[in-house]
């Protein structure tokens, strides 16, 4: 079956980039602590890049519960792996994943406001 994906809007790309950048900036400070560094980089990648990819998937797009469920599963995958292999969760994987999931509804609520749309339009104009 052939499917076409919808182009990702610039606004969604920028929000993912900000989230990815926060974890990426935190990561070099933890390079000595290898476990923390790996988890921060994974969270930066999954938290920043996966949402636009998920929204473009033909079977999931337009179904918010499936989209958020898949996103949550990807974000919490490292914590689940830790439980299976080590019988404990690394704090970076737990708190970083929960932070990404907790901030998600807040980002959606802010993204629907008129003031956010005005700010985004101002950014796009380049003023």
Residues 80-101: tens digit of each pLDDT:
999 999 999 999 888 988 998 8
Residues 10-37: tens digit of each pLDDT:
555 555 555 556 666 665 655 567 788 8
**Would the pTM of this model clear 0.75, i.e. be above it?**
no
Q: What are phi and psi of 20, to 5 degrees?
A: -65, -40
């Amino acid at each position: 079956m052939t499917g076409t994906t919808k182009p990702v809007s610039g606004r969604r790309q920028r929000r993912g980039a900000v989230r990815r950048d926060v974890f990426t900036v935190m990561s070099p400070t933890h390079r000595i602590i290898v476990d923390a560094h790996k988890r921060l980089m994974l969270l930066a990648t999954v938290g920043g890049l996966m949402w636009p990819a998920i929204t473009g998937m033909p079977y999931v797009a337009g179904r918010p519960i499936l989209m958020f469920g898949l996103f949550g599963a990807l974000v919490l995958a490292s914590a689940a792996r830790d439980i299976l292999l080590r019988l404990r969760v690394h704090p970076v994987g737990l708190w970083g994943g929960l932070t990404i999931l907790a901030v998600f509804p807040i980002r959606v609520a802010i993204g629907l406001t008129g003031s956010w749309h005005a700010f985004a339009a101002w950014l796009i104009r380049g003023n």
